[in-house]
Amino acid sequence: MAQEAWSDICVQCVELLANVPLSVLLVTFAATFTGFLVLVYATLYAVAPVPRKPYPEEKRYRTLTKDGAITEPQELPCWQDTLNAKKRAGRILDDPSVEEPELFLSLVVPAYNEEDRLGGMLEEAVNYLERMYGTVTSSTPNGAGSGVAEETLRQRKLANGHANGSATYRPVHDNKGWEIIIVSDGSKDKTEETAFTFARDHQLSLHPKGYSGPWTPGTQEGVHIPPGTIRVVTLTENRGKGGAVTHGMRHVRGQYVVFADADGASKFEDLGKLVAACQGVEDAQGRGVAVGSRAHMVGSEAVVKRSKLRNFLMHSFHFILRLLTPSKTATIKDTQCGFKLFTRASLPYIIPFMHSEGWIFDVEMLMLAEFAGIPVAEVPVGWREVMGSKLNVVRDSVGMAWGLAVLRAAWLLGIYQRT
């Protein structure tokens, strides 16, 4: 009986629809479809992340004086604020060039509760930076390994050459000068104290004791560093890795800018490969990006030893990435390696338009580079698993997939715009 009743209802519905004019059906369908799109847009608008503006105290930094004392908070230089002052609402700057660099390379290190791992990472970083771009050099600064070894002392000075973004883009004073900006992302432990202790040890002593790191497990003599080369920026509230990196990159002074994870998993000695690759693809405006990649390690012991679940989630994420990202970004085999280098001239096309502050921020950076026509090079780098990761494989994999979908949809539907 119940089946017959439902059959009668269906027949009546078909007869009723048959008597409705076609124009009314089309209008009804169009209105329903439009309502659905409006609902999707409104929902996406509500869930798409909007980064908060930095607090005034977050635009300051502390460093060490010559005698090793911690300075009072000082104003950070901010190239983005300078650009914003020239920009009119709703317009893209015709010439988004930034001030001339003051040094060759800036390193941004996002750090959240990294007191146990930060020292080793900094040791490997300053050893390379001071040797290649510091007061004493013994090999070619681009890391290519060519040329005759030299040792020359130099004085730090302001940059010369023309502003980034011009066709006459030139390197900074023979590729010299470096800085490290450690962005403490609302850390609750002694991350900042660790940074200052490290800086003090290497600044005051001509022969500092080295810290062991992932790539240098044995303690060796450290390198003496000039005062003020390590700056510590404190975020009042945790923003996430992407938010910390973006914040630090607004305040860099270098011609080249690299960010690296605080755990030291990426081999810092491979920075020279990134610089050389970036120089090889830079356009006439001096724009370029070099992406550290672990894709060559697929099938290696380090990857094989991971759990089947982690490898499954990794391959699933890469598949979703290829589906959802623009064509050139989709060709990058490893978007998530925390070792990426940018020319200063490329920053105004990427950093002001960043929205993602979580793990997926790397993809947005690469998408923005593609939108702006900035050339990108992918470079194989050394990488090691380091204990103490804050990544929850299942939760963060799902979160990254969701974040990627929201990110791509927000850019496609115009919720995010480069204005």
Give the pLDDT confidence of 365-392 residue by residue, as tens digits: 999 999 999 999 999 999 998 887 777 7
* pTM score, whole prediction: 0.85
Give start and end residues of each alpha helix (H) in 238-326: 241-249, 271-281, 301-304, 308-324
Q: State the average pLDDT over residues 142-164.
A: 36
The pLDDT value recorded for residue 3 is 65
The Cα 226–Cα 134 span in angstroms is: 9
Q: Which of 18-22, 34-38, 85-89 has the highest mean predicted lDDT (pLDDT)?
A: 34-38
Q: State the average pLDDT over residues 351-357.
A: 95
The pLDDT value recorded for residue 8 is 65
Strand 178-185 versus strand 254-260 pairing type: unpaired
**Is the pLDDT score of 156 beyond 50?**
no
Q: State the average pLDDT over residues 327-338.
A: 94
Q: State the average pLDDT over residues 232-257.
A: 97
Q: In percent, how much of the chain has pLDDT > 70?
A: 83
The pLDDT value recorded for residue 299 is 67
**Is the pLDDT score of 91 beyond 70?**
no
The Cα 221–Cα 207 span in angstroms is: 6
The Cα 333–Cα 336 span in angstroms is: 9
Q: State the average pLDDT over residues 312-322.
A: 83
**Is the pLDDT score of 146 beyond 60?**
no
Q: Is 59 exposed, middle or buried (0-12, 13-18, 19+ CB in 10 A)?
A: middle
**Is the pLDDT score of 51 beyond 80?**
yes
SS3 content of the chain, % helix, strand, coil (to 5): 40, 15, 45
Q: What are the pLDDT digits (tens) for 181-221?
A: 999 999 999 999 999 999 999 999 988 988 999 999 877 88
Average pLDDT score, the chain: 85
Residue 140 pLDDT grade (very low, low, confident, very high; cuts 50, 70, 90): very low
**Is the pLDDT score of 48 beyond 60?**
yes
Exposure string of 164-197, with b = 16+ CB inside 10 Å and e = fewer, is bbeeebebbbebbbbbbbbbbbbbeeebbebbbb
The pLDDT value recorded for residue 135 is 61
